[in-house]
Amino acid sequence: MAKQFKTKKMLRKLSIIRYILLVVLVYLLIKLCIYSLTKISPNNYYYPRLLIIDYYNLLKDNTINKPVQLLNYRENSFKIVKEEKNDEVEMVYKDTQKLDEKKKVYIYSTHQTEMYADKKSVVNASNYFKECLENENIEVVVEKGSIEDFLIANNYSYNYSYIASRYFIEEEIKNNDYNLIIDLHRDAVKREASLATINDKKYAKIMFVIGKKNKNYKNNYQLAEDLNNLIKEEYPNLTRGILLQDGDNVNGIYNQDLASNIILIELGGNNNKYEEVKNTLDLIAPIIGEYLNEKEI
C-alpha cells in the first residue's frame, strides 16, 4: 500500500515537471514568434517587456484601429514634374534630393516639452539650430508634429515617447535622404555641470548619447565621435563627451537602429538659460556644416 502511494506521488511529480517544461517551451516559441515578427535587434530579444510593446504596436499597425501616425501634414519629397514629349504630357517623379545638392538635416525632439531655465523649450532650440545650419548652406527640416498630442491620441504614457517619435522618424525618412538626423534634448544636471565659459561668455555644454543596443551603434558612435572631436579642437570645454548607454535599466536604442546617421544631443540642462543655448548653437553649427559639406555620410 505504501509502495503504491509512493508511485502515485512520483507520477504527480513527473506530471508537474512535464507541465513546467511545456510552459517553458511555449514561452520560448512565443518569444521566437515575436522576434521574427517584429524584426527587432537580438539585443532586445532578452527583454520580454520591450518585445511585448513592439509586438503590440505591430498588431495595431496592421489593424483598422491602428494609431494616429501623423498629426501634421508632411510634404512628400518627390515632386511631380511635367515634361513635354511628342505632344504628350508625361508625369515624371523626380527626387528633389538629386535636384538639390545641399546636405540635409532632420531635427526632432523625442521629449519636446523639456524646458530651459527661462521656459524656452528644446523645440525653440531646434528652430534656432535650423537657422544656424541654413546659414551654412544646409537644408534643415524641424519636426512640427506634436509628440505630446500623439501620446494622448494613442493613450500612451510619457514613457512611450520613443515609441511615439519612432512613427515620426519612419515617416520622415521614408521618402527623404538625410545626411544627419538629430534627436535634440536637454539634460537635467546641476548648472555647473552644463555651463561653459569661453572668452567671458556663457555657453550651454553639449553631450552626445549613443545607444549600444542597436545594430547601427558603431556607425552612430563614429559619427558622434567625429563631431565631438571637431568641437573639442575648437572649444575644449564646450562638450561633455559621448555617453554610451548600455545595461538592463537603460533604453540603449533611442531609435538609432533606424539609420546609421542618427545621434542624440543633450544641449545644455534644465538650469541653462536659453541665451546660453543659442550661444552654443552659434559655435557648433559652422562645425557641423563644414563636416557635412566636406564628408560624404
* Structure confidence by residue, pLDDT tens digits, 65-106: 444 444 443 333 333 233 333 444 344 334 444 445 789 999
3-state secondary structure of 1: coil
Domain total of the chain: 2
Let me know whether 55 and 110 are in one domain. Answer: no
Let me know whether 55 and 108 are in one domain. Answer: no
Let me know whether 7 and 136 are in one domain. Answer: no
Q: What is the pLDDT of residue 10?
A: 59
pTM exceeds 0.85, yes or no: no
Cell digits of residue 262: 542618427
Let me know whether 201 and 261 are in one domain. Answer: yes
Hey, what long-range contacts does 120-123 have (CB within 8 A, 24 or more apart)?
Answer: 120/274, 120/277, 122/184, 122/185, 122/186, 122/267
Q: What is the pLDDT of residue 26?
A: 76
Let me know whether 134 and 190 are in one domain. Answer: yes
* Closest of 190, 176, 91, 108 to residue 142, by C-alpha: 108
3-state secondary structure of 83: strand
Answer whether 50's CB lies under 8 Å from 67's CB.
Answer: no
Let me know whether 11 and 156 are in one domain. Answer: no
Q: What is the pLDDT of residue 83?
A: 36
Let me know whether 133 and 210 are in one domain. Answer: yes
Q: How far apart are CA 174 and CA 3, in angstroms?
A: 71
- pLDDT confidence of 286, banded at 50, 70, 90? very high
CA angle 221, 234, 192 (to 5 degrees): 80
Let me know whether 50 and 113 are in one domain. Answer: no
CATH number for 220? 3.40.630.40
> pLDDT tens digits for 165-219?
999 999 999 989 999 999 999 999 999 999 999 999 999 999 999 999 988 999 9
Q: Residue 16: which domain range?
A: 2-61
Tell how strand 103-108 and strand 195-198 pair up: unpaired
> pLDDT tens digits for 19-64?
787 777 777 777 666 555 544 444 444 455 555 655 555 544 443 3
Q: How far apart are CA 165 and CA 150, in angstroms?
A: 9
Q: What is the pLDDT of residue 13?
A: 61
DSSP H stretches of helix in 135-271: 147-153, 161-174, 217-234
